[in-house]
Amino acid sequence: MEVIPRVRYVAQRLLDSLDAAGARFSRRRRTLRVATRNSLCGRYRLGRLQGLADEVRRRDVPGDVVECGVYRGGSAAAIGERLLPGSSRRMWLFDVFTGMPPPGSQDPWEAWTDVGKFVSNEAIVRGTLEAAGVPVDLVRIVPGRFEDTLPDFEVPPLAFLHLDCDWYGPVKLCLQTFFEAVRPGGCIVFDDYGYWSGCRRAVDEFLAERSPGARLVRIDSTSHYVRKD
């Protein structure tokens, strides 16, 4: 190739990749706007979830995505839009949708003030996901109490696990159900670790027993994650 055509070719490739990066960036921002309007997590934490999901994609970690504690689908949208388009991954979303169930004896008394809050439904979640650019045909919503829905669930290999269900009992049950299925390089996020003492206790007990080497990394004052070795 002569010099001028070669320079033109390289410049065009550069412009194409800038275009693609710009499109990816604006998709990410649009999703973040939709997710923030439909989540209790807040913009910063949702942006960090996007970043963790991007890393899982870059590392090519195989497996599906699970979220326990969905509400209107905001955090699911942030994660799903990064991991599902163009892939064959599925996303499994578990929630009772009829309001926060009562806490247990391992949770603090303030937990009772949230009982019955965060009512939502599958149509709201689908609306959030669609608006955020998540391919909804790859999403399965499983309504019901985890205590009823998880025991019969056939757990697939997982790349990303997001636990946002606040109380000791459900967090422990979700860890017992899903932790082993997360593949090396995959990510497990505990949204309430720094806020609800029952959640922190469930995570600490579980990791001490099942994965003593796991390193908890802080996202903000409440949310933390571990990466599977």
Ligand X SMILES: C[S@@+](CC[C@H](N)C(=O)[O-])C[C@H]1O[C@@H](n2cnc3c(N)ncnc32)[C@H](O)[C@@H]1O
Residues found near ligand X in the complex (CB under 6 A): 39-41, 69-71, 74-75, 95-96, 100-101, 118, 145-147, 164-166, 170
Q: Which amino acid is at 55?
A: E
CB of 175 to ligand X, least distance (A): 13
> In which residue are the tokens 């505990």 written?
190
CB of 213 to ligand X, least distance (A): 28
CB of 157 to ligand X, least distance (A): 22
Q: Which amino acid is at 54?
A: D
Nearer to ligand X, 80 or 170 (CB): 170
Nearer to ligand X, 70 or 134 (CB): 70
CA-CA distance, 151 to 146, in Å (whole number)? 8
Nearer to ligand X, 13 or 33 (CB): 33
| Residue 111 DSSP one-character state | G
CB-facing half-sphere around the CA of 182: CA atoms within 13 A: 25
Cα dist from 126 to 19, 48, 133, 193, whole Å: 29, 22, 11, 27
CB of 200 to ligand X, least distance (A): 15
Nearer to ligand X, 56 or 177 (CB): 177
